Chain A
């Protein structure tokens, strides 16, 4: 909400500047978003002028003779309210208007117009009317217009949290807070009663007292609809509300002042001249003041006349009963509506109004008659001879006042303060909480629907005392250091390892990128297709939570295509696996590690010849190193037919006998669909599966005391024989003295036959307790070669 600084200042006369007051209020919890001058751009030299006479200008505009302090001046004006005896702002020649136009003397036929008479809008007041001159009944000709018209004001724009929106959406509410902090006084409007001076009684009935606990009304006859006086327009403009006419303006004025929304109906447009508050019937229609037809539901509360709805309770009035230029009798409504009902209707119709934002936070039910009297009082002041009728007040079940027990010790111990009782009672008293000595309790004021529990009082005390006045102290609690669990430790180790291995971490959003399952060529029955649906996505690409990280990995790789030096990326993030569809129980959220790599194994360098490109074996090495780094010993790779990998060029990673993921070169079809090269290597691994297999225990044997003996052997085997089979065979045949087997070459081509390959190994033998003799090693080596021949058909390469 917006509020005028000067208006607040009139109710609580603080000497703080607008900026200072904004800061004070912000640190009380009433967040002021901005402070802007009401009329920053008023032209230099603008003064008040009295219109002395107005002459018909013939063909041209009417001609006004005015007194602007320095003798008569002639100015033309087409304004309807230019008439002798009123005082209006006058901009002399030589000044610049807010729109940048320069004011000059201009000739109109045989008259020279020296300067401009202005409307509020022309003076640069946001929202100011432009159809008529800004006029006041009394002023000194030649006096500074800014001062005379009260334009040296600032608009405070509040962004209130729900707890302050209950009671601070009004000048009085804000002034009450200012006074509570600053002690600047509180001049609460106390209207004189003007009721019953001849007007008729309002006929009102409440048919839904849950929706409308209180309805106060009053009829005023003999009203004349006209523009409001400037002082009223000014206060509205300085609070961000556009003046409309005197009747509507006064209801807005009092709403701003007291926080109580009000509405004026044209009594002569109400069928049977009466009001009832009831539920709408299903499908009932109402054209609201904004000109839109609303189709209503039974949950909506309406104000109806004898025949039809004439207003949407607490939200907006109807066009059919609107105050208009010819209105003579009005019925004023000052009611209290159920916040939730107002909220639901306003939300459903997407219709937020000054009234609804007050009711839905919980207005003050005790304010209705006060506000009504205030409206009547002001109308009596600005209209010629209005005739107000009596106040009708329907309030079937007034609620009891809430009381909250007072415990100063509890407040101090929650806040970490040492405030004495009287100080606390003083703080709360200034906010309207009455201390009842007999009950040792505070009575909660009717406007504080947000306060229910003792802890709520603590907050009031804290903010009045000042949050930043509370002494800061570290808590004295028993300290027990944290040791991360296996998974979080492994998570950190993994990130650090991969970073050291040249991989960049990416963090992508949790949605499944649209189309990525198709890009990956995912079969219909694959686990990736078991997706968790989002019920209310904002965009199509938020429709599903991801079942794999690979979609985004491919995207990042594609976007990195032009980047020098290739790309190595990984993401460690959750995927979402429903337990059933539609989802009822919490899904699983396993952590996955995804990687993607392409480009040279090392950045190019001027002193090195061309770098080899990243391939399957490079990534395998990275993963083997990772498993080693986090303590996984039992791991190996087996061929896989994973759908996104190049057939025969990818592997399933088996850890402790379980497949935990797949990696390898990108399937050519996937590569094509995702606009990437087939040389890209990607993979995804279930991180929890890997961590579960990590061994915290490290088996240590002493450093070898005796020398080893090495033997090289080159074998020729069928293409189908794997390295792993050869090593297993060697180990089985050699027994424990074979310490290590190292593959150092794989060769295909002449003179090796086409369906065979040659693998060259370096075998290292060692005994823990002696130096092996050549004969011993030779004997084992013979057994090894024999076993290789018998089991795998391996021949020695000659």
Chain B
């Protein structure tokens, strides 16, 4: 057979076999079959010495060209194969390995948010005892001797003279007494509070409040409105309005109930807000002169505002919870919903 014809045939065949090679192994066996020590092309190259002088150069050139072409093809095939995916595809819709995250309690979520807002507005956090002296819980807060709140019907007593605080307001007195005469007084006071209420969807004998107090020279009721508007907008969003209704608390005068736009109906009125378009969120007022005096400040020189909110109520509004008792039941299936709130 004509060596040139044979080279050409080997070359064609090798290239076609390489082109259809499936894996590394096949490529390697093709290399051995054509270019190995016993390979077909190697044999031809080796036999060139036996050819007549005049054909050696010509056939040699042809054989080397074929060798180069096969080597290139092997190399290309190898590279192509290396870039080809070899692992099986995944069902990307199957569930990932879950990261085990817990949750903060909804009351903690709301309280932290409230505290963050006030801290950002320059308030310090102050706390106080839950088992209180009567003076701090009642007398010092201008709650008269015959006021129903002092009754054993309404407040829990511990021993003869100690009371489970019925609001967080004693924190105001305790803080003022240690801080006077320095100005300003600017605190938020969170904590547990107690009232002898029968448990129902909106009452719990143990509940949480957060108190705020600002005392300084020239603080007025417009400041109270400004502060509460700012607070409500940070808590419920910029679109809400704040509305005051006159009310009565022994420790403030004037006193107000404060409503915020119902974020369920945006003031159109719905069942959540009892058709009012607003939700009551807290009680507020200008600190009563006697309370300022009891705190060690002169009502002639300074004035202040205070307000207190129920954390359970805020949580119920924010999360759309209809039964307060679910907050204390701690059913894990309930609590697990409050994820996604890591700060």
Interface residues of A, count at CB 8 A: 89
Indicate if the CB atoms of A472 and B225 lie closer than 8 Å.
Answer: yes
Tell me the smallest distance from the CB of A608 to a CB of chain B, in Å: 7
Contact with A along B242-260 (1 / 0, CB 8 A): 1111111000011110000
**Which residues A530-578 have CB closer than 8 A to chain B?**
532-538, 542, 545, 552, 556, 559-560, 563, 567-569, 574, 576
Query: CB within 8 A of B327: which of A28, A343, A472, A507?
Result: A507
Query: CB within 8 A of A582: which of B133, B160, B218?
Result: B160
Give Cα A567–Cα B229 distance, bound, in whole angstroms: 41
Enumerate chain B residues within 8 angstroms of A459, measured Cβ to Cβ.
246, 253-255
* B62 CB-CB contact with A under 8 Å: no
**Which residues B297-343 have CB closer than 8 A to chain A?**
303, 327-333, 335-336, 342-343
Indicate if the CB atoms of A535 and B101 lie closer than 8 Å.
Answer: no
Enumerate chain B residues within 8 angstroms of A505, measured Cβ to Cβ.
102-105, 108, 335
Tell me the smallest distance from the CB of A538 to a CB of chain B, in Å: 5
Indicate if the CB atoms of A499 and B342 lie closer than 8 Å.
Answer: yes
Give the most central of A29, A343, A503, A533: most B CB within 10 Å: A29
A-B contacts counted at CB < 8 A amount to: 238
Enumerate chain B residues within 8 angstroms of A161, measured Cβ to Cβ.
247-248
* A587 CB-CB contact with B under 8 Å: yes
Indicate if the CB atoms of B158 and A545 lie closer than 8 Å.
Answer: yes
Indicate if the CB atoms of B102 and A479 lie closer than 8 Å.
Answer: no
Give Cα A416–Cα B304 distance, bound, in whole angstroms: 12
Indicate if the CB atoms of B98 and A567 lie closer than 8 Å.
Answer: no
Indicate if the CB atoms of B222 and A416 lie closer than 8 Å.
Answer: yes
Enumerate chain B residues within 8 angstroms of A574, measured Cβ to Cβ.
130, 192
The chain B residue sitting closest to A574, CB to CB, is B130
Tell me the smallest distance from the CB of B265 to a CB of chain A, in Å: 17
* B2 CB-CB contact with A under 8 Å: no
| Contact segment of B10-18, B42-50, B76-84, B119-127 | B119-127
Enumerate chain A residues within 8 angstroms of B289, measured Cβ to Cβ.
453, 455
Enumerate chain B residues within 8 angstroms of A456, measured Cβ to Cβ.
253
Given contacts A417-B222, A459-B254, A568-B102, contact A509 B328 (CB under 8 A): yes
**Which residues A581-597 have CB closer than 8 A to chain B?**
582-584, 586-587, 589
Enumerate chain A residues within 8 angstroms of B184, measured Cβ to Cβ.
477-478
* B267 CB-CB contact with A under 8 Å: no
Give the interface size bracket for B toward A. Answer: 35 or more
* B164 CB-CB contact with A under 8 Å: yes
Enumerate chain A residues within 8 angstroms of B130, measured Cβ to Cβ.
510, 574, 576, 589
Enumerate chain A residues within 8 angstroms of B256, measured Cβ to Cβ.
467
Query: CB within 8 A of B330: which of A499, A508, A582?
Result: A508
**Which residues B111-161 have CB closer than 8 A to chain A?**
112, 119, 122-125, 129-133, 146, 151-152, 156-161
Query: CB within 8 A of B214: which of A29, A458, A475, A584?
Result: A475
Indicate if the CB atoms of A499 and B101 lie closer than 8 Å.
Answer: yes
Tell me the smallest distance from the CB of B306 to a CB of chain A, in Å: 13
Query: CB within 8 A of B206: which of A462, A509, A556?
Result: A509
Contact with B along A155-198 (1 / 0, CB 8 A): 00000011110000000000000000000000000000000000
Give Cα A595–Cα B333 distance, bound, in whole angstroms: 18
Give Cα A475–Cα B289 distance, bound, in whole angstroms: 19
Give Cα A569–Cα B288 distance, bound, in whole angstroms: 43
Query: CB within 8 A of B100: which of A488, A538, A602?
Result: A602
Indicate if the CB atoms of A606 and B94 lie closer than 8 Å.
Answer: yes
Indicate if the CB atoms of B222 and A415 lie closer than 8 Å.
Answer: yes
Given contacts A414-B286, A481-B122, contact A534 B164 (CB under 8 A): yes
What are 9 A-B pairs with beta-carbon distances under 8 A?
A416-B221, A463-B254, A500-B101, A506-B335, A533-B159, A538-B205, A560-B331, A576-B131, A584-B162
Seed contacts A455-B253, A481-B119; 18 additional CB < 8 Å A-B pairs: A162-B248, A164-B248, A344-B146, A413-B303, A414-B220, A416-B220, A455-B289, A458-B253, A467-B221, A467-B246, A471-B222, A473-B222, A477-B216, A505-B102, A506-B105, A506-B330, A582-B159, A603-B98
Top 10 closest A-B pairs, CB basis?
A: A416-B222, A29-B246, A502-B100, A416-B220, A161-B248, A467-B244, A459-B254, A472-B225, A535-B157, A583-B159
Which B residues are closer than 8 A to A by beta carbons?
Answer: 94-95, 97-98, 100-105, 107-108, 112, 119, 122-125, 129-133, 146, 151-152, 156-162, 164, 184, 186, 192, 194, 196, 198, 204-206, 214, 216, 218-223, 225-227, 229-230, 242-248, 253-256, 286, 288-289, 303, 327-333, 335-336, 342-343
